[in-house]
Amino acid sequence: IQMTQSPSTLSASIGDRVTITCRASQSVSVWVAWYQQKPGRAPNLLIYRASDLQSGVPSRFSGSGSGTEFTLTISSLQPDDFATYYCQQYQYNSYSAFGQGTKVEIK
């Protein structure tokens, strides 16, 4: 199963609503997670099971979708949010694949 993210790069301003999309090559139900990664750092889990917010993650982050199409939304972009975002599909004890990443840049 492949995960295709779009866009690959996104330019936005502070306060903008930002949406990143991930499409699966076949249905993955709700088994999708989203991560934020900053340069030189490990990824940080934001969303799991498509829409569950990881503990400690700001509520401006939200996830939605099921089947083959998934979305990560940042409701009001903050300075700390400029980073690269990855989706991941994870099949129970089977297979996992990450999307190629979306870099969110300052406009």
Partner 1 sequence: QMQLQESGPGLVKPLETLSLTCTVSGGSISSGTYHWGWIRQPPGRGLEWIGSINYRGDTYYNPSLKSRVTTSIDASRNQFSLILRSMTAADTAVYYCGRTNWDSSTGPWDYWGQGSLVTVSS
Among 18-26, 59-67, 73-81, 95-103, the segment contacting partner 1 (CB under 8 A): 95-103
Across the chain, how many H-helices and E-strands are there?
Answer: 0, 11
Among 18-26, 63-71, 72-80, 96-104, the segment contacting partner 1 (CB under 8 A): 96-104
Is residue 91 close enough to count as binding partner 1 by CB under 8 A? Answer: yes
**54 DSSP 8-state letter:** P
- Would you say 24 and 3 are in contact if contact means Cβ atoms under 8 Å apart? yes
Among 21-29, 62-70, 75-83, 91-99, the segment contacting partner 1 (CB under 8 A): 91-99
Query: Which two tokens mark 25?
Result: 């090559």
Residue number with CB closer to partner 1 (59 or 92): 92
Phi/psi at 81 (5° precision): -90, -5
Residue number with CB closer to partner 1 (16 or 23): 23
* Size, binding site for partner 1 by CB under 8 A: 23
- Region label for 100, one of left (φ > 0), alpha (ψ between -120 and 50) or beta (otherwise): alpha
